[in-house]
């Protein structure tokens, strides 16, 4: 575990999709209790884990996340009774799909963190951040975003220069 | 003037073109599918199988950047694409049906508005066609007035000869320049006999009669039965050498992004969907009618020719088994 | 080694379909019958809707009758008149899609008259329609078929399909091959496959389960999936498509057949089906269920992956 203030070569970008009732409150508790956890995590608050569409996870990776955390209420504690039960099934399936297309599942973490579990929040976030830090940046989606289908590709400026020299 | 190019010299020619930094686009295998794609080495070329998509991609990309924008604070920057960055291209092994579609596209993109993106790419492309020696039962170039050895639209036409190699006929300045630049590879054609060309098994369709029927039958109950089975995908338009509709989309974030031009297809529900929510082509038969109308009437009205070269790709690849040759033939007999 | 597959039953099946279609059309049981008819190319077929008993002899069944006609019955593709009960010619695989659609309240059993086809297999997607059916030309889905004789139909011709050839199950072995790879190798595999995608959406349009009035991927406010056919947008589209079909796909493999670029789309669907079977012991298309596996839950679901 890293100690606060340590300098690192790589600071991973972690996106956390959390439910407002449990995990968000848990993260809040960690803050008000002055617990330290990596500042790499960016929280996005949702009413319920049931509202978190798998597409959000995909989008996060596409837009540059190195790791994604999805966290909500413990089973049985859902504010909407069963939202997290539905989410649990959906994510069980989605992670299998991501794995099959070649995403390393070590970059994706699911957790239950209640409003009273500030300590668990710190633990989950720290562990994911350090794990992703060791893995390095998530390049797959970033590289893909820069790729063009061959027909739309332009000559690089260097190649352009080479042409000009040939014609001279 | 006709020249002979041996199989070996053909490879050497491709190799030299690739080495000169040109983008050499030819049919090759990509994950099991033959597509026109840039060659890395001459051995990759596949000439005995019809590519799944047409060669139009070389100057009408599936997706291309038009502008990009960025925003920092109050400052907005817009960057245009420099046409000088379009690659010099030689398109090799183009089927006559694909080559014949190129002048059709030229006409559209240089009509009232001159599409710089298309025209610049086109200017930088030399088209080396290859006559067909095999046809399947979806091929119908002869039905729409073309043939497996038709030179239309190409700068050079290659015809395979007995015992290997090609007869090469340059038919434009670009073509002659390419032959002249590599003159040592070509020899006199004496004694080389071309392989028999393909003979598609379709009869000539009376396209004047087709147009006449289309002129007066925009509303006709037969459209429903013609197009009931259409499922509304874009496969036919995207594999067509002559279809040229495109859509423009902005993609990106508040801070930066790109405006891109993508292929579009009239079979899509979204194609004519208005911002108001109204869709004038609300049902699939109306969309399919547009496909036939555009190919055999609207384009004819404007440019005096048909927008179909009989390559048969839409017939082979339609998920619902729609056969445009059969439809047009039926119309010609109405 | 290539072995021929016996399709001689298809003559009897064709006759039976014609007789039955003529009967139900003339006695008013149905207003129309959706089936297959011969098309111009030798041996080819295309979907047809027959609404007049006199035209019932246009109906055929051959190894080229590949389409899943269920797609013509779902909401967004409602162009076929649904003024009354409609007859549909269904293979076992197509029937599973209909069963799924009934579960999702898109169709009512009472509105359909199902003419089941005892099936010996159909041709693969890129095969010329006039080709003889053999162990090389058969569609890969037919090698994993468990329902050569559809059950629960209103009418099934009294012929017995020949036993399925004992061949390698292509999807199962391909999934196993991919699973054995490293994530980076799998990523490279799919990247290459998806690079061919042109976003023609044939996979979506032929899918009986893609019945949304407006697809999420056609929306631009917000735009969740890039519509451009670039590598990034292609990857996102195929992931979203596979996810939205997870637990619903009944394995008709129409997406893969329709793909003009030969992308092995059914591989993703089969993989998800396999995972859902392992996770929730669910297989789609066998009985009409109110809720699919991802629309329900139990308190005891596996959560070993959740911290």
At C248-261, the pLDDT tens digits run 999 999 999 999 99
Q: Which of C178, C189, C235 sits opposite A144 (nearest CB)?
A: C235
Q: CB C167: neighbour CB atoms within 10 A?
A: 14
Question: Could you tell me if C88 lies within 8 Å of chain B, comparing CB atoms?
Answer: no
Q: In a mutagenesis test of the B interface, which of C200, C232, C264 is the best target, namely the one with the most B β-carbons within 10 Å?
A: C200
Domain borders along chain B are 2-332
Residue C303 lies in a domain: no
Contacts of C297 in chain A (CB under 8 A): 82, 85-86, 88-89
Inspect the interface and report whether the beta carbons of B228 and C39 lie closer than 8 Å: no
- Give the gap in angstroms from C-alpha B279 to the nearest C-alpha of chain C: 13
Buried/exposed B78-110: b ≥16 CB within 10 Å, e otherwise: eeebeeeebbbbbbbbbbbbbbbbbebbbbbbe
Question: Could you tell me if C257 lies within 8 Å of chain B, comparing CB atoms?
Answer: yes
* Cis check: omega of the bond before C222, within 30 degrees of 0: yes
- Range ranked top by mean pLDDT from A111-120, A150-159, C78-87, C156-165: A111-120
Q: What is the pLDDT of residue A4?
A: 58
Contacts of residue C146, Cβ cutoff 8 Å, sequence gap at least 6: C92
Indicate if C199 and C289 belong to the same structural domain.
yes
Residue-averaged pLDDT of chain B: 93
ipTM of this complex: 0.92
Q: In a mutagenesis test of the B interface, which of C199, C211, C262 is the best target, namely the one with the most B β-carbons within 10 Å?
A: C199
Question: Could you tell me if C170 lies within 8 Å of chain B, comparing CB atoms?
Answer: no
Interface of A with B in 144-163 (CB under 8 A): 148-155, 157, 159-160, 162-163
Indicate if C177 and C94 belong to the same structural domain.
no
Inspect the interface and report whether the beta carbons of B31 and C195 lie closer than 8 Å: yes
Residue carrying the six token digits 């030798």: C42
Inspect the interface and report whether the beta carbons of B234 and C199 lie closer than 8 Å: yes
- Give the gap in angstroms from C-alpha A167 to the nearest C-alpha of chain C: 32
Residue-averaged pLDDT of chain C: 91
Indicate if C26 and C125 belong to the same structural domain.
yes
Indicate if C133 and C203 belong to the same structural domain.
no
Span B3-20, average pLDDT: 95
Q: pLDDT above 70 covers what percent of chain C?
A: 97
Q: pLDDT above 90 covers what percent of chain A?
A: 83
The class of domain A14-167 in CATH terms is alpha beta
Residue C38 lies in a domain: yes
Reported confidence tier of residue A168, pLDDT bands at 50, 70, 90: very low
Domain hosting residue C174, numbered range = 170-295
Distance, in Å, from the CA atom of C256 to the CA atom of C233, rounded to the nearest integer, reads 19
Residue C4 lies in a domain: no
Question: Could you tell me if A166 lies within 8 Å of chain B, comparing CB atoms?
Answer: yes
Take residue C71 and report the two structure tokens written for it.
């797609």
- Give the gap in angstroms from C-alpha B143 to the nearest C-alpha of chain A: 31
- Give the gap in angstroms from C-alpha C51 to the nearest C-alpha of chain B: 12
For residue C68, the chain B residue with the least C-alpha distance is B320
Question: Could you tell me if C196 lies within 8 Å of chain B, comparing CB atoms?
Answer: yes
Interface of C with A in 184-243 (CB under 8 A): 184-191, 195, 216, 224-225, 229-232, 235-236, 238-240, 242-243
> What torsion do the CA atoms of C130, C267, C223, A145 make, to the nearest 10 degrees?
-100
Tell if the pTM clears 0.90, that is, is over it.
yes
């Amino acid at each position: 575990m890293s100690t606060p203030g340590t300098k690192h070569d790589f600071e991973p970008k972690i996106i956390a999709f959390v439910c407002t009732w449990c995990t968000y409150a848990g993260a809040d508790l960690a803050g008000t209790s002055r617990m330290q956890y990596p500042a790499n995590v960016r929280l996005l608050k949702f009413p319920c884990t049931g509202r978190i569409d798998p597409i959000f996870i995909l989008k996060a990776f596409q837009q540059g996340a190195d790791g994604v955390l999805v966290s909500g209420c413990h089973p049985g504690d859902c504010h909407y009774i069963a939202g997290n039960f539905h989410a649990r099934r959906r994510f069980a399936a989605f992670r299998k799909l991501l794995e099959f297309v070649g995403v390393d599942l070590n970059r994706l973490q699911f957790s239950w963190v209640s409003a009273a579990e500030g300590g668990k929040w710190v633990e989950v976030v720290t562990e994911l951040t350090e794990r992703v830090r060791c893995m390095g940046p998530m390049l797959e989606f970033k590289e893909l975003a820069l790729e063009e289908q061959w027909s739309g590709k332009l000559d690089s400026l260097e190649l352009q220069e080479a042409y000009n020299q040939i014609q001279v | 003037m006709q020249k002979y190019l041996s199989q070996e010299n053909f490879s050497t020619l491709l190799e030299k073109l690739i080495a000169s930094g040109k983008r050499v686009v030819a049919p090759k295998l990509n994950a099991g599918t033959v597509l026109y794609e840039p060659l890395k080495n001459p051995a990759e070329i596949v000439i005995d199988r019809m590519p799944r998509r047409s060669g139009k991609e070389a100057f009408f990309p599936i997706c291309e950047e038009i502008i990009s924008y960025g925003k920092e604070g109050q400052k907005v920057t817009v960057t245009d694409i420099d046409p000088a960055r379009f690659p010099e291209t030689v398109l090799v092994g183009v089927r006559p049906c694909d080559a014949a579609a190129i002048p059709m596209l030229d006409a559209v993109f240089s009509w009232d508005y001159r599409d710089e993106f298309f025209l610049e790419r086109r200017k930088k492309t030399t088209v080396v066609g290859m006559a067909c020696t095999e046809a399947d039962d979806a091929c119908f170039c002869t039905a729409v007035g073309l043939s497996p050895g038709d030179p239309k639209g190409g700068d050079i036409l290659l015809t395979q000869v007995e015992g290997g190699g090609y007869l090469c006929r340059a038919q434009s300045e670009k073509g002659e320049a390419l032959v002249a630049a590599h003159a040592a590879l070509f020899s006199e054609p004496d004694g080389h006999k071309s392989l028999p060309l393909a003979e598609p098994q379709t009869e000539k369709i009376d396209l004047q009669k087709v147009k006449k029927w289309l002129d007066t039958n925009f509303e006709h109950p037969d459209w429903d039965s013609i197009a009931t089975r259409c499922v509304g995908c874009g496969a036919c338009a995207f594999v067509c050498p002559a279809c040229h509709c495109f859509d423009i989309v902005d993609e990106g974030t508040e801070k930066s992004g790109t405006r891109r031009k993508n292929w579009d297809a009239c079979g899509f529900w979204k194609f004519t969907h208005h911002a108001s929510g109204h869709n004038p082509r609300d049902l699939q038969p109306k969309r399919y009618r547009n496909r036939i109308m555009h190919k055999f009437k609207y384009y004819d009205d404007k440019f005096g020719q048909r927008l179909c070269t009989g390559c048969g790709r839409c017939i082979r690849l339609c998920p619902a088994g729609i056969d445009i040759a059969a439809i047009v033939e039926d119309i010609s007999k109405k | 080694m290539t072995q021929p597959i016996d399709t001689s039953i298809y003559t009897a099946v064709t006759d039976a379909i014609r007789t039955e279609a003529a009967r139900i059309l003339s006695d008013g049981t149905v207003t129309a019958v959706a089936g297959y008819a011969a098309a111009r190319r030798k041996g080819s077929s295309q979907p047809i809707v027959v609404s007049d008993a006199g035209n019932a002899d246009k109906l055929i069944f051959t190894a080229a009758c590949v389409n899943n006609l269920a797609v013509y019955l779902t909401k967004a593709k409602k162009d076929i008149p649904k003024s009354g009960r409609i007859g549909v010619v269904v293979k076992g695989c197509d029937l599973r899609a209909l069963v799924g659609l009934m579960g999702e309240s898109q169709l009512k059993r009472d509105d359909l008259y199902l003419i089941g086809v005892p099936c010996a297999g159909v041709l693969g997607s890129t095969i010329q329609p006039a080709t003889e059916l053999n162990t090389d030309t058969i569609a890969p889905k037919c090698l994993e078929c468990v329902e050569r004789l559809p059950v629960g139909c209103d009418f099934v011709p009294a012929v017995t399909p020949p036993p399925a050839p004992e061949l390698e199950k292509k999807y199962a072995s391909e999934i196993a091959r991919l699973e054995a790879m490293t994530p980076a190798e799998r990523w490279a595999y799919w990247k290459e496959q998806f690079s061919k995608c042109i976003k023609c959406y044939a996979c979506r349009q032929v899918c009986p389960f893609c019945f949304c009035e407006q697809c999420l991927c056609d929306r631009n406010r917000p735009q969740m999936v890039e519509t451009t056919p670039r590598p990034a947008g292609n990857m996102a589209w195929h992931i979203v498509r596979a996810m939205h079909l997870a637990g619903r796909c009944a394995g008709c493999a129409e997406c893969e057949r329709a793909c003009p670029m030969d992308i092995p789309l059914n591989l993703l669907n089969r993989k998800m089906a396999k995972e859902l079977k392992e996770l929730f012991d669910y297989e789609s298309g066998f009985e009409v269920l109110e809720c699919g596996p991802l629309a329900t839950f139990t308190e005891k679901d596996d959560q070993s992956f959740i911290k």
